[in-house]
Amino acid sequence: MNMKMRFFLISGVCIGLVLKIFVFDIARVHGSSMEPAVHENSLVFINKSAYGLARPFGSSLLVQWAQPEKGDVILFIYKGKAVIKRCAACAGEALDFSSDSGYSVSVGGKTYPLTEKQYRRIKFDTAVPERTVMAIGDNYADSVDSRDYGFIPVTHILGKVVGK
């Protein structure tokens, strides 16, 4: 292999790695927490630069230039695993809890069911805290999400699902 070919091969590999680490990725979905919008074992396309520049091989952003919006399907790391959930509420949005005939939280006109444990954990939050989002799976009954582990710092949101 001549020098010119090696240069193009190495350049191509380097460009591909930079794109995968910082710009774009494809991931396989494990679990049914986002059904029916995203099915188990389907492939999703992730815009890793939608909200900022991620720390290489880390779980937070180095530089942030945008905030997730309500309804975005976001990617973040929880307990060392990549997680995909829907942004159900953004910083400052009011949370209205109910314990009448079951537990629930309403935000922006939408009501999400809660278990008693989830209710007791988050019932004192009257609004989504600054610089965080509430991320909830579309399949409420089969989703471990912000109702269980709390609000997600926006600096920990590493991408936006843009296609499936």
Which amino acid, residue 19? Answer: L
Query: pLDDT tier at 129 (50, 70, 90 boundaries)?
Result: very high
pLDDT reported for residue 57? 82
> Which phi and psi (to 5°) does residue 23 adopt?
-115, -50
The predicted model scores a pTM of: 0.89
More confident site: 14 or 50: 50
Count other C-beta atoms under 10 Å from residue 62's C-beta.
12
Burial profile 136-158: b = 16 or more Cβ within 10 angstroms, e = fewer: bbbbeeebebbbeeebbebbbbb
Distance of CA 25 to the CA centre of its chain: 14
| pLDDT (tens digit per residue) in 51-88 | 999 888 888 998 999 999 999 999 999 988 999 999 99
**Residue 153 and residue 63: Cα distance in Å, rounded?**
14
pLDDT reported for residue 19? 79
